[in-house]
């Protein structure tokens, strides 16, 4: 039995990254505990069942793990050969979301397509598809991006980012736009685009974003972000309650289930402000552990990307880098909003916030990352045997015995 178990572990260690698997399982487990604690009051108020959101999250988690297992079997060449085929599909879905009757509106945002048994958030799928498209584009046009003196090689990826960004803003989903653009610019930098050009693109993006940030309800949110305590019962309500929750946590927190702010004071406690509940119940220690887990995940994604890069599997490398940037940026932006260092925006905390679409797509992304690792690992050249081991020694020839006329034997 022990030999079989050892053989099974050895076999799977050759195709799975143990570090990546460990940190993903830790984030899933810790996230489920925090989400359950943060959603108890909301579930009881909405449907009269305290574990309502936990049971649904477990279902999404099971579906995500099954999908991840299936996606893991798909070679990276399949995604690379698709090229731009997935872009029109996701484009149509983003347009369909905006059509009344098809798109589902929640809290003033139209981001979901109602499937009957569940709602699909298209923007979550769009992130992964856009990053895979950019990875393929940089593989096909990598030399031009590095050496060309004109901006022509940058036009197509910028058009794609612009079109998808505009559709996401119409939902509106400003947080996803920020994550997509930040990850896209980071990928272009790794693809060899000069830093001066990226600085120019970043400046142009910021100039476009500023008017959008100051218009309508976003403008009111931004003003309240500058001084949330000025209108703590109005536009600054979310931020002030998040800060109070984090402050109440202290060094070691109030204990699991001990948060007061999640009791109908902090809105979207199980989603957009789950980090505040985590800080309230686990304190500064919980914050540090959470940051270390995400840093470990990002570091592993970059290590896998570097491994694929050294094996000249550039598509897989770019996809791995993109996943690392994506998870890292989204976690930082979510935490920044909860700590009131960034303006409020609706962003989930990967693996932890409640949401089926977010969890499913994140687990699929981890499966793709694991596939990149497997293909990079399997492409390693076999260790060549030394010359002494490779060449078998020939047995020494027996001495030739010759007899002379007298009968003596000479060797």
Q: Whole domain around residue 67: which residue ranges?
A: 2-379
**Pair of tokens at residue 45:** 């108020």
Q: Determine, yes or no, domain membership for 258.
A: yes
pTM comes to 0.85
Q: Do 120 and 113 meet the contact criterion of CB atoms below 8 Å apart?
A: yes
Instruction: Count helices and strands (H / E) in the chain.
Output: 16, 5
Q: Determine, yes or no, domain membership for 402.
A: no
pLDDT for 357-385, tens place per residue?
A: 899 999 999 999 999 999 998 875 545 44
Q: Determine, yes or no, domain membership for 411.
A: no
Q: Determine, yes or no, domain membership for 399.
A: no
pLDDT for 279-293, tens place per residue?
A: 999 999 999 999 999
Number of domains composing the chain: 1
Cα distances (angstroms) measured from residue 218 to each of 172, 221, 235, 346: 10, 5, 10, 12
Q: Determine, yes or no, domain membership for 400.
A: no
Q: Position of tokens 């143990």?
A: 18
Give 143's pLDDT tier (boundaries 50, 70, 90): confident
- As a dihedral over the C-alpha atoms of residue 100, residue 103, residue 106, residue 111, rounded to 10 degrees, the angle is -130
Q: Position of tokens 């078998």?
A: 392
Q: Determine, yes or no, domain membership for 384.
A: no
Q: Determine, yes or no, domain membership for 271.
A: yes
**Which of 18-27, 137-146, 201-210 bottoms out in mean pLDDT, i.e. has the lowest?**
201-210
pLDDT for 239-286, tens place per residue?
A: 888 888 888 888 888 888 888 888 878 888 888 889 999 999 999 999
Run of H or E including 403: strand 402-403
Predicted pLDDT of residue 237:
79
Q: Determine, yes or no, domain membership for 116.
A: yes
Longest CA–CA span in the chain (Å) reads 125
How many CB atoms neighbour CB 212 within 10 A?
Answer: 15
């Amino acid at each position: 039995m022990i030999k079989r178990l050892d053989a099974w572990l050895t076999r799977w260690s050759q195709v799975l990254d143990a570090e990546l698997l460990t940190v993903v399982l830790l984030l899933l487990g810790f996230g489920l505990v925090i989400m359950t604690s943060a959603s108890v009051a909301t579930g009881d108020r909405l449907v009269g069942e305290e574990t309502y959101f936990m049971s649904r999250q477990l279902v999404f988690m099971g579906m995500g793990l099954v999908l991840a297992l299936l996606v893991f079997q798909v070679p990276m060449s399949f995604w690379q050969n698709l090229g731009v085929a997935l872009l029109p599909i996701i484009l149509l879905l983003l347009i369909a979301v905006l059509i009344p009757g098809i798109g589902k509106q929640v809290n003033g945002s139209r981001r979901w397509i109602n499937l009957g048994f569940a709602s699909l958030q298209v923007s979550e799928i769009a992130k992964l598809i856009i990053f895979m498209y950019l990875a393929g584009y940089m593989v096909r046009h990598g030399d031009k991006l590095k050496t060309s003196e004109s901006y022509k090689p940058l036009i197509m990826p910028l058009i794609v980012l612009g079109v998808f960004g505009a559709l996401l803003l119409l939902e509106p989903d400003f947080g996803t736009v920020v994550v997509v653009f930040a990850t896209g610019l980071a990928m272009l930098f790794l693809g060899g685009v000069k830093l001066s050009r990226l600085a120019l693109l970043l400046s142009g993006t910021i100039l476009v974003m500023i008017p959008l940030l100051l218009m309508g309800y976003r403008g009111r949110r931004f003003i309240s972000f500058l001084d949330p305590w000025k209108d703590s019962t109005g536009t600054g309500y979310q931020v002030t309650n998040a800060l109070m929750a984090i402050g109440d946590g202290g060094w070691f927190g109030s204990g699991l289930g001990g948060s007061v702010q999640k009791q109908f004071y902090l809105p979207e406690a199980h989603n957009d402000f789950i980090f505040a509940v985590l800080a309230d119940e686990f304190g500064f220690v919980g914050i540090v552990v959470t940051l270390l887990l995400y840093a470990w995940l990002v570091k592993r994604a970059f290590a896998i990307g570097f491994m694929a890069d050294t094996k000249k599997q550039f598509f897989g490398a770019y996809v791995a880098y993109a996943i690392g940037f994506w998870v890292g940026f989204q976690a930082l932006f979510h935490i920044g909003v909860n700590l009131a260092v960034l303006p409020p925006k609706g962003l989930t905390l990967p693996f932890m916030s409640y949401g089926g679409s977010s969890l499913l797509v994140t687990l699929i992304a981890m499966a793709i990352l694991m596939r990149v690792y497997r293909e990079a690992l399997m492409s390693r050249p076999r260790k060549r045997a030394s010359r002494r081991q490779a060449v078998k020694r020939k047995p020494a020839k027996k001495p030739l015995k010759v007899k002379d006329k007298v009968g003596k034997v000479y060797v």
